[in-house]
Amino acid sequence: MTEIQKQAQQLGDYMVLWRRQFHQFPELSLQEAATSRHIQQELQNMGLEPVVLKNRSVIARLDGPLPGRRLAIRADIDALPLQEDTGLSYASQVPGVMHACGHDYHAACLLGVAKLLLQNQKSLCGSVYLCFQTAEEVSEGGAWQIVDYLKENGGVDQAIAAHVSGSLPGGHIQLPAGPMMAGIAQWTLTVSGTGGHGSRPDLCRDPIRPASDILREFSAIPVNRHAPFDVCVINPCTFHAGTAFNIVPEQAVVSGNLRYFKPGDIDVIRRSMEEIAAGIAAAHGCRATLDFEGMLPPCYNDPEAAAAGQALCAQLGIPLAPSGDPDTGSDDFAEFLSAFSGFYLRIGAHSGQPGTVGVHHNPRFALDDSSLPTAAAFLAAYAATFLRA
């Protein structure tokens, strides 16, 4: 066991205490006032000087005695609109709000990392930015404000984040190279025609048929217009048109999302969707517009950084979980990985406690927080290695 691992074990109770404090008093995205305040105060108690952004994200810079590289470590801190049903002694005391994705674990872990890095500060060459991020769970996400702050202050050489997993065995780390989580975009298709009475469709331009044809062709993009080695999914989720059985509507509006794993694929997919929509609508004498929002790139682990992380796991004796398939969910830490190189890993904390589950975003979600020292030791050791002279 390395010195940092021993120090992390000694901080175990400290991190568990903070994790359960955050768990009992969760706050929704963009409402993390008390959580942010507690983090600020604790960082100040350590002698750090945290900066608070407009969205209440907290950033503290920890400098070594010598200049060198710069590393950002992110922990998200927001909770979910769920009524907890775990029966835990430290269950949420806030009705309808719960830490059901482990962000309480992340916040407590990064506080532990701060203490570990302070204990080893003299060996650091460079700077670590400890980033406590609000609003990860909403589409307008808080990552971009932190990324902008980092860019305005000279940027960083790498950014890393650990996300707890309720399904992986406790203390195991999953850290593959390449795609880790999907990129996402929300899209809205509007097909405009000419409305009229259902008895004279020849005088109308029905938007429903072209909208349906467009959706059918969208489903063929992954096969006919996209490389077969790269996965993408285009998923329509709403379809609204018409108000009565005998009136041809003027518009059909469809919305959905698309997901992909290869950085840059959004440009190919978007262009294909726009070409298909415009062509089919025109063939029906209609017009089509396609709007995209909530766009987020994939979480893509830099192969060199991931290899360094895997080597560190071997050095620390931390078991590596099989890589498995990339997750089709999304995380706005992708904004960090799009701006800087780095990686996103999972740390196992399967609970197995009766009446609870390891499925995230579930009212009975629970974690085994005894893996906190492993997570903190890895992150701190990676920082110390990365900032070594």
CA distance 175 to 303: 10
Structure tokens at 168: 């992986």
Q: Which tens digits make up the pLDDT trace of 99-114?
A: 999 999 999 999 999 9
Asked whether the predicted pLDDT for residue 141 surpasses 90, the reply is no
What's this model's pTM, rounded to 2 decimal places?
Answer: 0.94
CA distance 254 to 215: 9
Domain boundaries, the chain: 3-181+298-386, 183-296
SS3 264: coil
CATH annotation of 3-181+298-386: 3.40.630.10
Q: Which tens digits make up the pLDDT trace of 27-58?
A: 999 999 999 999 999 999 999 999 999 999 99
Is it true that 3-181+298-386 and 183-296 share their CATH fold? Answer: no
Determine whether domain 183-296 maps to CATH 3.90.550.10: no
Asked whether the predicted pLDDT for residue 358 surpasses 80, the reply is yes
Q: Which of 184, 186, 192, 189 is nearest to 217 (CA)?
A: 189
CA distance 295 to 187: 9
Residues with a known catalytic role:
78, 136
Annotated binding site: 101, 103, 137, 163, 361
Annotated binding site for Mn(2+): 101, 103, 137, 163, 361
